[in-house]
Structure 1
């Protein structure tokens, strides 16, 4: 009976990053702040470029199990450049993405993912939410949660919720384009 329950309701992970507070945005959009409250997810995966300690402290309140990597504008020396996290049958690699050239290129990201020996690469940096499948592996990017992207352009504020199940991950892509919109993708485990 417990296995049926686990398969029906998987653990949840928030994928969030590129806040750039206060340099490019003053705060999260209020619509997202209302949705992102403590203890609704089991994990938080932050792709970096948070911006200030207050925002970092707020992210830590969302789950007792938070994972951070360093963005190109993060100054803390305590945050790693990359991180590997195992959740059930899934091995996740977390990186900001500024280290990968050309930025946001699926082929370069896939090469990095293979080097990390993971099933899923969580990366940020581009400011655009994206979910890609490459050679039985997945690359996911939450975009910029504030929409305060790279100084050249604004992006649509976004974040992701992952629901981990034994054989698949459900990805819920939250975007704020006038209203909060939610798109869904399914990533089957492929070994």
Structure 2
């Protein structure tokens, strides 16, 4: 199973299109908030299941703020992260996710990519596909692949 994970597109769908061209086919898309209208675009073009959560800039939407989904054998908690103060680190969001029974927590908000695999929980932030803040300022996204045995593997990717 191949899952594309993006965040913080801020209504700029050109880079989302470019990512989809680079990684298709996919089995699922996850967008971790600050869509700013991209939800309508995703709904229009989606040829695969998708999961969306709202971010701090998604003012007029009924998209959920957080949700728990299952990918393979993993319980995955999706959120934007601003309510868990991710600018101050990942301790709070990882503890919150563990309390909810998650194996993986995916979030955005910081526009900085991150893969942490410790404390019995995996924390992922794909960065931003439209307004990156890490050194080099190249838009980023992640791919989650489940291998034949159901083990998840994560790769951070840069938009070409």
Secondary structure of 2:98 counterpart: helix
Structure 2 residues without counterparts, runs of 5 or longer: none
TM-score w.r.t. the length of structure 2 is: 0.85
Tell me which residue corresponds to 1:13. 3
Structure 1 CA distance for aligned equivalents of residues 128 and 20 of structure 2: 14
Is 1:59 aligned to 2:42, yes or no?
Answer: yes
The Cα shift of 1:104 comes to: 5.5
The Cα shift of 1:154 comes to: 8.6
Report runs of 4+ in structure 1 exceeding 4 Å deviation.
none
> Once the two structures are superposed, what CA deviation does each residue of 1:118-147 show, in whole Å capped at 9, x if it has no partner?
10001000101110012121000110011x
Tell me which residue corresponds to 2:142. 160
Structure 2 CA distance for aligned equivalents of residues 86 and 30 of structure 1: 26
What are the within-5 Å matches in structure 2 for residues 1-80 of structure 1? 11-21=1-11, 27-28=14-15, 31-32=18-19, 34-35=21-22, 37=24, 40-52=25-37, 55-60=38-43, 61-80=45-64
The answer (yes or no) to whether the contact 1:144–1:155 under 8 Å persists in 2 is no
Secondary structure of 1:163 counterpart: strand
Decide whether aligned partners of structure 1 residues 66 and 130 sit closer, same or farther in structure 2, where only a CA change above 3 A counts: same
Tell me which residue corresponds to 2:156. 173
> May I ask how many residue pairs the two structures share in their alignment?
157
The Cα shift of 1:98 comes to: 0.7
Decide whether aligned partners of structure 1 residues 41 and 76 sit closer, same or farther in structure 2, where only a CA change above 3 A counts: farther
> Once the two structures are superposed, what CA deviation does each residue of 1:86-116 show, in whole Å capped at 9, x if it has no partner?
1221110000001112526121121121122
The answer (yes or no) to whether the contact 1:41–1:62 under 8 Å persists in 2 is no
Give RMSD over aligned pairs. Answer: 2.4
TM-score w.r.t. the length of structure 1 is: 0.72
